[in-house]
């Protein structure tokens, strides 16, 4: 894949992968090796977390469409080799600003209709924590799916604030959570 064409995004918009696709299976060992490498890369590339999480669901019996989705991620990586995380220098005594973004895709999995929740935490505009995982329950509305994602984000926010207070010995204050669903905001 060294000479492949670059992709602008790690996955196709509105991509729907399924376990029950009628197509040829591929070698699961090679597929698992590829997904393991991509999962390792997610430690420094939060932009890959969602796409890698989706292709990780098919390691038992991977099909050609699952491999094509994984190769799309490799094409994206090839075009973004210079991406990375930068931590800006802060002034001593300045309050650190912790901001969270959360989102969910309602009924995103075509097989079990479960949503995928995700969040990202920025400390002074540098990413420090992120997650993309399938929700454990089936949400009955987009509001419910977003609320579940927000509650996962709130749990992580509490942990991060406690960690920061333990490390600095200072009260951090509040965390700004950005949620893109008005119903979920009003519900909370």
In the chain the first and final C-alpha atoms are separated, in Å, by 46
Give the pLDDT of the chain (188 residues) as one tens digit per residue.
888 999 999 999 888 888 877 889 999 999 999 999 999 998 888 899 999 999 999 999 999 999 999 999 999 999 999 887 777 776 666 677 899 999 998 887 878 899 989 999 998 888 999 998 989 899 999 899 999 999 999 999 999 999 988 888 888 788 999 998 888 777 76
**Number of neighbours of residue 121 by Cβ within 10 angstroms:** 22
Exposure string for 128-141, b = 16+ CB within 10 A, e = fewer: bbbbbeebeeebee
What domains, with CATH codes, occur in the chain?
1-84 (no CATH), 98-187 (3.10.20)
């Amino acid at each position: 894949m060294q000479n492949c064409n670059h992709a602008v995004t790690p996955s196709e918009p509105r991509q729907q992968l399924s376990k029950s696709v009628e197509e040829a299976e591929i070698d699961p060992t090679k597929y698992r090796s590829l997904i393991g490498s991509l999962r390792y890369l997610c430690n420094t590339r939060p932009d890959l977390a969602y796409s890698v999480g989706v292709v990780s669901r098919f390691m038992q019996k991977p099909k050609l469409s699952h491999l094509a989705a994984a190769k799309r991620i490799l094409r994206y990586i090839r075009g973004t080799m210079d991406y990375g995380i930068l931590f800006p220098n802060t002034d001593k005594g300045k309050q650190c600003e912790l901001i969270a973004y959360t989102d969910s895709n309602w009924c995103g999995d075509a097989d079990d209709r479960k949503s995928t929740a995700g969040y990202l935490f920025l400390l002074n505009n540098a990413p420090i924590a992120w997650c993309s995982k399938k929700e454990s329950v089936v949400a009955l509305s987009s509001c419910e799916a977003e609320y579940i994602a927000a509650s996962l984000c709130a749990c992580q926010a509490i942990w991060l604030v406690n960690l920061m207070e333990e490390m600095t010995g200072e009260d951090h204050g509040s965390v700004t959570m950005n949620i893109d669903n008005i119903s979920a905001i009003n519900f909370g």
